[in-house]
Amino acid sequence: MSSKNPTDGPARGPDQEPRQGFSRRTFIEGVGIGAGAVGAIGTAQPARADTHEPVGPDPVAITLNINGKSHELKVEPRVTLIDALRNRLDLTGAKKVCDRATCGACTVMVDGDPVYSCTMLAIEAQGRRIETIEGISTEDSMHPVQAQFVEHDAQQCGFCTPGLVMAGKAIVDSNPQPTMADVESGLSGNICRCGTYVGVRKAVYDAARA
């Protein structure tokens, strides 16, 4: 998305854009385009960014499109996407760890881009296509990145794993032949404490080629 904007400057073409996580630019842009995207799926929203009318602090009704399903919920405008997913919708795959856009454990895809869901408000995510770790596999088969995580023992305690899988998916979605340097760069917004990076790097590299 933002990487396609020529005003972003030449140093950040699609290939160089860090694929993982939140950036100030996407955050601001997310607020700006919310209304248009909401309009596109035709739901009436009280928390419209284009009306410039303050919402909250009381809960507002919102609709989130998650893993292809529409979820209606009422949240205070300050509720982050991670808290909406985990506390309201029991989608607990994404983890809350640093809660300030550093560690990547909360990574989900929003409109196909990886986003730190601890640093996006739930109301901003309206009208956007949210994909969580729960949505990328079926009962019978895992996403190639997930399957390769298992093959390469790319997990220990596993708490960072969902975020790393989503960051890995973002890499392979955008680049079918990533080099190991591409993989390392794409994973650089995620932190593992047990020390699983050796397996994680191999898993993402192989998943792209699977």
Partner 1 sequence: MATKYDWPAADDRSLIGKRHNRVDGPAKARGAAKYSYDRNLDGMLYAKLVTSTVPHGRIVGIDTSRAEKAPGYKGHVNILNVGDEVQWAGAEILAICADTEEHVRDAAAAVTVLYESMPHWVKDEDVEKAGEANRVKPAKDDTKGPNLEEAWKSADATVEGYYGLAVITHCCLEPHGQVVDWTGDEITVYASTQAVARIPGDLATGLSRDEKIGTVAADSVHVITPYMGGGFGSKFNIDTWGIACAKLSKMTGKPVKLMLDRDEELMVAGGRPSDFGNIKVGAKKDGTLVAYESETWSTGGIAGRGSPPVPYVYNNEERLAQKARHLNVSTNIGPARAWRAPNHPQAAVLTMCPMEDLAAKLDMNPVDFFKKNADLTARPEVYRYEIDKCAEMIGWADKWHKRGDSGSGPVKRGLGMSLHTWGGRPHDSTCEVRIQPDGGVSVNMASQDLGVGTYTTLSVVAAETLGLQIPDIKVNIGSSKLPISGASGGSTTVGGTTASTRRATVNALEELKTVVAEALETEADDLVAKDGKVFSKSDSSKSLTWQEACRKLGNRTITGQGKQPDRNGGKLNDSGVGGVQMADVSVDVETGIVSINKIAAVQDVGLVICLEQCESQVYGSLIQGVAWALYEESIYDQTTGKMLNPDMEFYKLPGAGDIGELEVHMVQNKYDDRGVIGIGEPPAISPGAAISNAVANAIGVRVPTLPLTPDKVLAALANA
> In the complex, which residues of this chain contact partner 1 (CB under 8 A)?
76, 78-79, 83, 86-87, 90, 92-100, 102-103, 105, 132-134, 137, 142, 146-147, 149-151, 153-162, 165, 181, 183-185, 187-201
Q: Are 78 and 122 in contact (CB under 8 A)?
A: no
Beta carbon nearer to partner 1, 40 or 210: 210
Taking the complex as a whole, the smallest distance from the CB of residue 102 to partner 1 amounts, in Å, to 4
Taking the complex as a whole, the smallest distance from the CB of residue 26 to partner 1 amounts, in Å, to 18
Distance CA 114, CA 129 (A): 11
Distances (CA, A) of 137 to 44, 110, 125, 160: 31, 17, 22, 18
Beta bridge partners of 74: 61
Beta carbon nearer to partner 1, 47 or 97: 97
Distance CA 115, CA 71 (A): 19
Taking the complex as a whole, the smallest distance from the CB of residue 141 to partner 1 amounts, in Å, to 10
Beta carbon nearer to partner 1, 43 or 92: 92
Of the candidates 129, 32, 117, 115, which has an alpha carbon nearest to the alpha carbon of residue 71?
Answer: 129
As given in the structure block, the two tokens for residue 109 are 């895809």
Taking the complex as a whole, the smallest distance from the CB of residue 46 to partner 1 amounts, in Å, to 18
Beta carbon nearer to partner 1, 51 or 179: 179
